[in-house]
Amino acid sequence: MRSDEKPGETRVSGERPGPPGEAINYGPTTEPRQAGTVILLRGGAGALEVLLVRRNPTARFMGGAWVFPGGAVDRHEGQGDRALRAAAIRELQEEAAVALADPGDLVPFSRWITPAEVKIRFDTWFYLAPAPPGVEARPDGSEVVEARWYEPAAALAARQRGELFLVFPTIKHLEQLSAFSSADALLAHARGREIHPVQPRVVHQGETARIVLPSEPGYSD
């Protein structure tokens, strides 16, 4: 990306306490920017690991968070599926030095739209992609300062121990991924399935704010 902004990772703050890092929007709804993110997989038929990268702790937006590589579509990349795939591949290369030659290798997995209640918004497609054989992720040292491979359940457990700072969409994706025993099984599940956009809401309860998914109580209130 060309700024401190990171798509697909929504946090909320403002006059009322909430997940830190993003201001609540009290004005007109912000139009979300298109973005593409890569959930890079390794393990083949025998295991499943995903690549997480750590945002620079000094970044204004989501400093220190562990996320999937990704970023907003550049204006010159246009719009639509081709532009989203190009952005995802570009950011994976820039942030982690992992090159994917064929945009067709990206398998659509989910689409998340930042809640309308926050200022900085993204309409993000998350793509699965098998890692090239023998690849070593190398953080760029600027936007991204660390890169590690995790089994999805192990990353969630590390968060529970206070070892990883994960934000809401990353957590929810890792929960979904942890249901699969191998990278091949996950890819087979994702190929050809219909993608429905997910748009969480920010719901205020007294002096607190929480993020609610469409399937959860309180979303329609």
Q: Give the pLDDT of residue 131.
A: 97
* pTM of this structure: 0.85
The residue type of 86 is: A
Q: Give the pLDDT of residue 126.
A: 98
Q: At 175, which CATH number?
A: 3.90.79.10
Q: Residue 157 burial by CB count (10 A; 0-12/13-18/19+): exposed, middle or buried?
A: middle
List, for residues 4-39, the tens digit of each pLDDT value: 444 444 344 333 223 334 556 556 778 899 999 999
List, for residues 71-91, the tens digit of each pLDDT value: 999 988 888 999 999 999 999
Percent of residues, the chain, with pLDDT higher than 90 = 64
Q: Give the pLDDT of residue 19.
A: 38
In a domain, 195, yes or no: yes
Q: Is the pLDDT of residue 218 over 80?
A: no
DSSP secondary structure, 23-36, as one string: BB--SSPPPPEEEE
In a domain, 2, yes or no: no
Structural domains of the chain, count: 1
Question: Residue 114 in 3-state DSSP?
Answer: coil
